[in-house]
Structure 1
Amino acid sequence: MLMKLEVCVDNVESIVTATECGANRLELCSALSSGGLTPTAGLVMAAKRLSGLPLHCMIRPRAGDFIYTEPELQIMLDDISCLSKLGVQGFVFGTLTSRGEVNIEQLIRLCEAAAGHHITFHRAFDYTQDPDQALELIVSAGCDTLLTSGLKASALEGLQTLIRLQNRAGERLTIMPGAGITAENIVQFLGDNGFKWLHMSAKKQRQIQAEYLPEFSLGSNLEEDLSITVTNDGLLKKALKIISTP
């Protein structure tokens, strides 16, 4: 079986690029610079128009940690309800306790709300203290996929842990390596490791098209206002060519 690739995108330009390059699935979010937040309904509808690929939507109400209050959890549940009506194929979420454990009560509620869709537990997993216990809880809640870097800054650094997690999960859960995967290192995840899916952004910075800008910034610094993060078609095509070679 050939490896499949999920590409995370947060704008229309990247949706089109990833689709045209031949990605197998899109993780749709907003604010990739903050690790990805819940996309707007408008962006989801645009993705439906512009891409025939399966869409998995991030459900994350804010940046920061993954310890959610009841009002924040209700936002997540409402977002799942709203985006389900737009015909997306899956959802991506995760929730933890202050002790670095999977918040199983909240996770079960999210999974119940997302019933009938593919469910991915995201890299909140990499913030857990006991990955084996966390994996078992994620399986018990009904998740289909676990996106993780193997508890390291990059999936390449966490490769041995990723392999061990895949062996432990077996057919119960798909382990999808993600974080820092590039066309240069993607070959390290091929072979007999047991992985079926990989996750990458293949991003680059593109200069904005504005001919005039004020001397102040709307964000934290002016440089961030001068570029947009988009999918790099060259990098993505190279990665896809590598994984599609038998």
Structure 2
Amino acid sequence: MTHAPSTTTPVSAPDEGPQISDGLAGLAWRAFWALGALALVSALMVLAGNLYGERLLRANLSTSAEPLQIVIGNDVLDVPENMFRHADQRVAGITNRAELKVHWPERSGYRTDLADAFSDTSPETVQTVLISIARRQWLLDMAGRLDLVYQKAIDPAKPPRSVHGLTAVALDPAHGYVDETLYYAPSATSALPVFIARCNEPGAGREALLLACETDLFFGETLEVRVRFPATFLADWAEFSAELDSLLESFLVTP
């Protein structure tokens, strides 16, 4: 039997993919598109964060300047609604505390034209203060504690300085004050200073706090006020102190 000659189809070698030069180009393009995608995602996240943050800010604050009448202790206060930081405190009547955020020097609550100022997070440019009003818990405010408390807590290793017409003394960490400085202006007619504040100083490897300074004072018949404000306000402390007193007095409802 005669068999026809068989034809064998050559078996091609397995596909080894692109050459090295093609592989490097492909990797480069894939890396380029991956980086582009990451950049796009990052930009979208920043945009969404800004928009969402603004929506949160607007949702938590009111633009109404109508006064709400609240009662804390024996004092009756009329406070503009847009100064309240928390929505659940925007209710007239008896309450234990009022937490406020106020633009300075306008002494205004939240407004749409002040939205950027209310969301500012730079210690060098921030123009808002936080004011907490509550019933008095202490016998003395910060001015009254100068001689009894703070003079005994001054760091003996650091001499007093003069800053913006204020006496500045470092407080001793041994008394629990870490990177804190006390600023005060003595009075010519009273044992109590006309202005006093404690400020957190930037420590090693730590950025300045947004509202680095704090003071507390009594007002009305039964109230104490704790105020946090930027360190930049120390340069005009006398004006700030007078404006703060005026603002607090404007809240009081005369019997």
TM-score for the superposition, normalised by structure 2: 0.22
Higher helix share: 1
Q: Which has the larger radius of gyration?
A: 2
Higher strand share: 2
